[in-house]
Amino acid sequence: MNEFLCGLTGDIVTPFNQLYNEERQGYNRAVQKFPLIIVYCYSRQDVSNAVIWARKNCVQIRIRSGGHNYEGYSNGNFTLVIDVSRMNSMYIDEFSNCLHVESGVTNGQVYNFVSSKGYPFPGGTCPTVGVSGYALGGGWGLSCRNFGLGCDSLKEIELVNYEGKIITANCEINQDLFWACRGAGGGNFGVILSMIFELPPKIDKVTVINIEYLNVDSEEQAKFMYTWQRWLKTADKRITLISRVYNSAGDNLSMLVRGIYYGIPEEALEIVDDFLRLNGAKCDMEYVTFLEAVTIIGSSYPQYEKFQSASRFVLRDLTWDSLTKLAGLIVKRPPGSVFTGISMYAMGGRVSEFETDAAAFFYRDAQYIIWLETTWEEQQYAEVNRDWIKNQFPHIECMTDGSYVNFPYKCLDCYKEEYYGKHTDILKKIKDKYDPLDVFSFPQGIGISGI
């Protein structure tokens, strides 16, 4: 072995390796980073060795699980990427109804595993997203109004800290670290090795809802958003929906509603009646197992794509005028874009039943999350699409509050305050305490005092 790599254990990939070019890339192919080394860890010792090696050799660390960070923050030029995706064992303790996972598991792997024992899981929509990255940043999913965010089910974490030591955090041990990792844990405090989640009650079947409206106009999109906002205020907490207005090369201006209802289709039909009354609604409901439901929803994702996006929390009602402006933002796609869209992720229900200070995730009172996106295929259009988001973003920013750290945007001015709101100062103190040398840093990290 190359002497420089001495001390690193696990599978090592460097630029001299044939696989390097594929292995260095994440889900968002618009972001291209060139790490010095990728180390695939199989054990706690591999992770610990990697942290110690990086410090000894003065190489910056990035931590990667599913590799889906929108801005590529689990990767970086000339860094050591500690990749935990091969640490993916799981078991369920049926006595305590708890799921024990290693930190490399994906949503899809967890869904397959827990549903084989009859449980649902408050995971995310995309099967290849890592559960670590998902839950550490909060974790919005199509079960969240019923069961809370992913981080709300977390009971314990284990991590390798800046000294390479393993520490545990839960409600009794290292409570402050545990608090911080439920909403602000991605990449900031150490490498999470394992997590324990409390599982929701077993479930037989759920209803998957899909409503589409093709070839609409901008005013209909504004009406749709108006309906969405009004509907959400009194919606049954057993239903969680994502709704989207978009402009795609295939469908032109269109919109959709998609989601899961923990109940039967007849009830779901009544609950979504407001959406069915809108012009052109085509509705499809399926009463299926939880695994079938998340598989249907997950099947809409490509293996990877090129995109730029930005997110905001909606805490106040948007006026008709604001909604018209929002719809107007996507009427014209930038050059090379094959898709522009505004997605709305329902919050409320169980998410807002937790106190704001229950965990680092700050925006408990948001009605929904807005996510603005443009997708392109040819790399030559990257800059013009990034500029497009930059120009549209202020229009959304002025009517909303804060951004969701799991949907990061590199151009945010005060990103810490935007992601963590009034929890920012306490998070900085927790960072100083658990990572005093800022060993775990990345472009939008919490950072230590004085830097």
Q: Residue 109 corresponds to which tokens in the numbers above? A: 């792997």
Alpha carbon distance 142, 242 (integer Å): 8
- Closest separation between CB of residue 13 and ligand FAD, Å? 15
Size of the site for ligand FAD (CB under 6 A): 34
Determine, following the binding rule CB under 6 A, whether residue 103 of this chain makes contact with ligand FAD: yes
Q: Residue 246 corresponds to which tokens in the numbers above? A: 């978009």
Determine, following the binding rule CB under 6 A, whether residue 169 of this chain makes contact with ligand FAD: no
Binds ligand FAD by CB under 6 A, chosen from 111, 121, 140, 371: 140
Residue type, 227: T
Q: Residue 322 corresponds to which tokens in the numbers above? A: 């604001």
Instruction: Kindly tell me which of 124 and 259 has the beta carbon lying closer to ligand FAD.
Output: 124
Residue of 296, 292, 291, 299 lying closest to 117 (CA atoms): 291
- Closest separation between CB of residue 185 and ligand FAD, Å? 6
Phi, psi for residue 196 in degrees, rounded to 5: -120, 125
Do the beta carbons of residue 150 and residue 135 sit within 8 Å?
yes
Determine, following the binding rule CB under 6 A, whether residue 121 of this chain makes contact with ligand FAD: no
Determine, following the binding rule CB under 6 A, whether residue 54 of this chain makes contact with ligand FAD: no
Determine, following the binding rule CB under 6 A, whether residue 164 of this chain makes contact with ligand FAD: no
Alpha carbon distance 377, 369 (integer Å): 26
Partners of 240 in beta bridges: 260
Determine, following the binding rule CB under 6 A, whether residue 200 of this chain makes contact with ligand FAD: no
Determine, following the binding rule CB under 6 A, whether residue 341 of this chain makes contact with ligand FAD: no
Determine, following the binding rule CB under 6 A, whether residue 311 of this chain makes contact with ligand FAD: no
- Closest separation between CB of residue 266 and ligand FAD, Å? 27
Determine, following the binding rule CB under 6 A, whether residue 191 of this chain makes contact with ligand FAD: yes
- Closest separation between CB of residue 217 and ligand FAD, Å? 28
Binds ligand FAD by CB under 6 A, chosen from 73, 339, 361, 368: 73
Determine, following the binding rule CB under 6 A, whether residue 84 of this chain makes contact with ligand FAD: yes
Which three-class secondary structure state does DSSP give residue 430?
Answer: helix
Of 130-138, 286-294, 319-327, 351-359, the window that binds ligand FAD (rule: CB under 6 A) is 130-138
Determine, following the binding rule CB under 6 A, whether residue 30 of this chain makes contact with ligand FAD: no
Alpha carbon distance 378, 386 (integer Å): 13
Determine, following the binding rule CB under 6 A, whether residue 132 of this chain makes contact with ligand FAD: yes
Alpha carbon distance 412, 394 (integer Å): 10
Concatenated DSSP letters of 42-102: -SHHHHHHHHHHHHHTT--EEEESS---TT-TT--TT-EEEE-TT---EEEETTTTEEEEE
List strands edge to edge, sheet with 206-213. 282-288, 206-213, 252-261, 239-248, 337-346, 368-376, 306-314
Instruction: Kindly tell me which of 69 and 115 has the beta carbon lying closer to ligand FAD.
Output: 69
Determine, following the binding rule CB under 6 A, whether residue 130 of this chain makes contact with ligand FAD: yes
Site string for ligand FAD, 406-425 (x = CB under 6 A): x-------------------
Determine, following the binding rule CB under 6 A, whether residue 134 of this chain makes contact with ligand FAD: yes
Q: Which residues bind ligand FAD (CB under 6 A)?
A: 26-27, 62-70, 73-74, 84, 103, 124-126, 129-130, 132-134, 136-137, 139-141, 186-187, 191-192, 301, 406
